[in-house]
Amino acid sequence: MKKILLIGGGGSIGKALTNEFISKNYYVTIIDSIPFKNQNKTKNVKYICVNFDSLNLNQLIKSHDVFFYLLSRLLPGDNNLDKFYLDISSYIRFTKNFSNHVGKKLILFSSGGAVYGEIKNRKVKEHDLLQPKSLYGQLKKVLESISEINNSISSSKIYILRVSNAYGDFLKLKRNHGIISTIIHASHNDKIVQIWGDGENIKDYIHNDDIASACTKMIDYNGSAFQMNLSTGKGTSINEIIDLVNKTREIPLEVKYVDKKNFDICYSILDNSLISTELNWKPKMSIFSGINLLSKSFETN
């Protein structure tokens, strides 16, 4: 039985990964500093609520086979330099210990929506220059560089998944976090939704279930593609998302457009042909199906 460690796995993506991995009969350990809610009560899952920097990393690494690094104290839109430097320090500490172990595998969650910056009118490929506009994007770029250094000196390898805009978690929906969750939350509460800019920003939205299915294939992947875009390869504007949410409701959503933020990306669609070929994987959830599922989950909870 493979033993999987999710670092910073208490959030929405970590929840989707956990559900997918235990369905494959893997043993999963989840580490997060935030108390866990709605824990999956199975013998194959262990929850550890602790400050990650206080852990004995050598013992953790020794006792697990594959690692998914989702930890990020810095969030998109956040300009907190203390969190920026702390996240870098935590990752350096982990990879320094990780490189001392033979034959281990780490999958770092990077952000395809943040590291590339503004590349318009075409899909972004892995070899494109990284030009992040935000501090969050700069953080992911630094972590990727640290990963590349590790791969040049260690037999334990780090793979980088540049994930597009993830959505699909009910807990996130209730917290009114993420543009799709924000719009659905406003729709079901008859509130005005505030949109930065004109709503014509086009981004690549991928459902957590599709992320989880790709990550399951990453567990056994030993190829040479160390950086891969994890995305749908399709773009959807915010105005189109509003229209899709309106189709799930009888009452049209009221929208207020405000000035755009200087760090926001206007156009970001990731080419997913590499990961599709390397993993024999394709996303299954359409944007409308994902929104419809989320909207229904709001009604029933």
CA pair distance 227, 130, nearest whole angstrom: 12
**Domain contains 211:** yes
Q: What pLDDT is recorded for position 142?
A: 98
Helix (H, G, I), strand (E, B) or coil at 171: helix
Q: Which two tokens stand for residue 203?
A: 């981004």
134, 62: one domain: yes
Q: Which amino acid does the sequence have at 285? A: M
CA pair distance 220, 294, nearest whole angstrom: 31
Q: Which domain holds residue 177?
A: 168-202+235-268+287-300
Cα distance from N-terminal residue to C-terminal residue, the chain: 35
Q: Which residues lie closer than 8 Å to 17 by C-beta, 6 or more apart?
A: 6, 9, 28, 68, 211, 212, 215
221, 95: one domain: yes
* 277 phi and psi angles, rounded to 5 deg: -75, -45
Residue 196 sits in a domain whose CATH number is 3.90.25.10
**Domain contains 91:** yes
Overall domain count for the chain: 2
CA pair distance 257, 236, nearest whole angstrom: 18
Q: What pLDDT is recorded for position 176?
A: 45
CA pair distance 268, 123, nearest whole angstrom: 7
Q: Which residues lie closer than 8 Å to 171 by C-beta, 6 or more apart?
A: 12, 15, 37, 38
**Domain contains 247:** yes
The HSE-up count of residue 162 (CA atoms within 13 Å, CB side) is 32
**Domain contains 75:** yes
**Domain contains 159:** yes
* 163 phi and psi angles, rounded to 5 deg: -85, 135
Pick the closest to residue 73 from 127, 143, 160 (CA basis).
Answer: 143
Q: What are the mean pLDDT values of the chain's consecutive 10-residue runs (301 residues total)?
A: 93 92 94 77 88 92 96 91 97 95 96 89 93 94 97 94 88 61 86 89 95 97 96 96 89 86 84 98 95 80 59
Residue 130 sits in a domain whose CATH number is 3.40.50.720
184, 64: one domain: no
CA pair distance 118, 101, nearest whole angstrom: 38
51, 177: one domain: no
49, 109: one domain: yes
CA angle 140, 145, 149 (to 5 degrees): 145
**Domain contains 281:** no
147, 243: one domain: no
110, 179: one domain: no
79, 223: one domain: yes
Output the pTM of the full model.
0.93
118, 183: one domain: no
**Domain contains 245:** yes
Helix (H, G, I), strand (E, B) or coil at 97: helix
**Domain contains 112:** yes
Pick the closest to residue 179 from 290, 95, 281 (CA basis).
Answer: 290
CA pair distance 40, 28, nearest whole angstrom: 11
Instruction: Tell how far CA 87 is from the center of its chain.
Output: 16
49, 73: one domain: yes
146, 183: one domain: no
69, 196: one domain: no
